[in-house]
Amino acid sequence: MSKSKNALFSQEIGLRLALIFGSYLYNIKQLHFGYWSKDMKLELSNLSKAQAGYCGLLRSVIPVNVKTILDVGCGTGALAQELLAAGYAVDCVTPSDFFTSLIASNTDGKSEIFQTTFEELKTDKKYDMILFSESFQYIDIEKGFKKAMGLLNDNGHILISDYFKKDKKMVSGKSPLSGGHKLVKFNELIKGLPLTEIKRLDITEQTAPNLDLVNDLLNNLALPAIECLLKYVKAKYWYNLACSVSSLIFRKKIDNLQRKYFRDERNAENFKKYKQYLVLLYKLNLS
């Protein structure tokens, strides 16, 4: 498997697990951080409320002249579903074959679903707005903007809601959290493009609590469950053999997973220290 295919695959597994777990327990249908206002208690049962708050925020920044939207990296299609219900015509881009049928059902067959990466998308259609909700970080900045601008109608808009890496000069140490484009590079590149920034909202404070929620679930639910299973497996005579074979094959992967997810460092404090979550609205300048 190529490096980019491998990254997409492991990202999809993470999203699938989050969805299976979240939808079973709390009917959670979306795959983003949610918007946690100060008065909301940080618990899983409030995640769908926080996610509804986030959708409301995105809807509030969509310009009035927008009628057609391309939702890039649409996850489960739940956000597209809300936008359809609000009267927009919405098409979806997903690189994931697993999510395609769920998106079709969530959007009730009303959206065209492009099953491809955004970079490889081929269509003659044009849209009033291209939306990237927590998906822009997976796409090369320059290629992403170039592609998005080519898909826009005159006076079209690009709405990006995602987190970025803060400038290294502003923070000390290495971030234990991965993901996000470098904000300095992003800001620099955008200057050279025929786009006017209409809105820049910093919602780091309201999205960071999600990290504490996930960190708690990983360390107080997933980890004890895995340890319990391992204890059972270790009691079996074939364990030693399986263990030495798997550690040969998977050691590096297991170490990476442990370092990434179970060190208690994927928390709100570190998110606020190393990342900045922005809602950015751009308008295409007419030449």
Binding residues (CB under 6 A) for ligand SAM: these are: 8, 15, 30-32, 72-75, 79, 93-96, 117-119, 133-135, 138-139
Q: How far is the CB of 247 from ligand SAM (least distance, A)?
A: 31
Judged by beta carbon, residue 147 or residue 171, the one nearer ligand SAM is: 147
Question: Closest distance between ligand SAM and the C-beta of residue 24, in Å?
Answer: 18
Minimum Å gap between C-beta 238 and ligand SAM is 37
Q: How far is the CB of 114 from ligand SAM (least distance, A)?
A: 9
Tell the smallest beta-carbon distance from residue 211 to ligand SAM (Å): 13
Minimum gap (Å) between residue 249 Cβ and ligand SAM: 27
Nearer to ligand SAM, 20 or 226 (CB): 20
- How far apart CA 210 and CA 142 sit, in angstroms, is 29
